[in-house]
Structure 1
Amino acid sequence: MNFWQNEVVTDAGIALQSRIINGHTLKIVRAVTGAGTVPPVNLRQQTEVTSPKQAIME
């Protein structure tokens, strides 16, 4: 198991947090796990899971 390194909140995650703070409701419609890695410089812009392995909900 890999340890979390270079973790960040993505730009999309920051926008989501802002909407929730401003009173919007969060509805989870999909969850996916992945096994890939992304260079740390690209993490903030990531919008998809790298190397998807399992769909929990779809």
Structure 2
Amino acid sequence: MKDAGIHCFVADQAMSILEGSLGMLPRRFLVDEERADQARRILFDAGLGDELRPARA
């Protein structure tokens, strides 16, 4: 996201403290709505497409 100039906020990042850093709880990446499609493509290209919720219509 940073390389694409997309500002994002990783929600639930502090949950790793509760889960013991196992990475089992999902994280939410919050981006500006205008950049959401581009951010989704970046995550998909990074191999995380199966982790994405369906896009809003």
The reply to whether TM is greater than 0.5 is no
Larger Rg, first or second structure (1 or 2)? 1
TM-score calculated relative to the size of structure 1: 0.29
| Higher normalized helix content (fraction of residues) | 2
